[in-house]
Amino acid sequence: QVHLVESGGGSVQTGGSLRLSCLHSGDTNNRYCMGWFRQRPGKEREAVATVSGGGTTYYANSVKGRFIISQDNAKNTLYLQMNALKPEDTAMYSCAADPRYDGYCSGTIPRYEYIYRGQGTQVTVSS
């Protein structure tokens, strides 16, 4: 069993930065696909970024060049560094993890398919 707890959300102005953290209990042993997802108002939930146990990353086109996903296994924490934030980045952000998808970790797997999912943290970007 792996528990995920997100933190780091908040309110920021356009162009600002935030770093989200996802603390996960248990040792994922570098064999999990882990990802950040978001649900914007009135939109479907979407994958923002994922990282495989081997370090392969995926980014949605809308965040490429602005967001960086990383993980610190010593701290059991997944991060999402968000830079140059825009109002359209306003959303509930959540993390998810699943060992089954490590071999093909990408944005094609919807969050509900992940076996472990966090509750989320709100990010609001004002213009």
Q: Which helix (H) or strand (E) holds 11?
A: strand 10-13
**Helix, strand or coil, per DSSP, at residue 32:** coil
Q: In this model, does residue 27 exceed pLDDT 80? A: no
User: What pLDDT, in 10s, does the model give residues 29-50?
Assistant: 678 999 999 999 999 999 999 9
Cα dihedral 88/57/119/126 (nearest 10): -20
List the one residue out of 42, 39, 41, 40 whose CA is nearest residue 96. 39
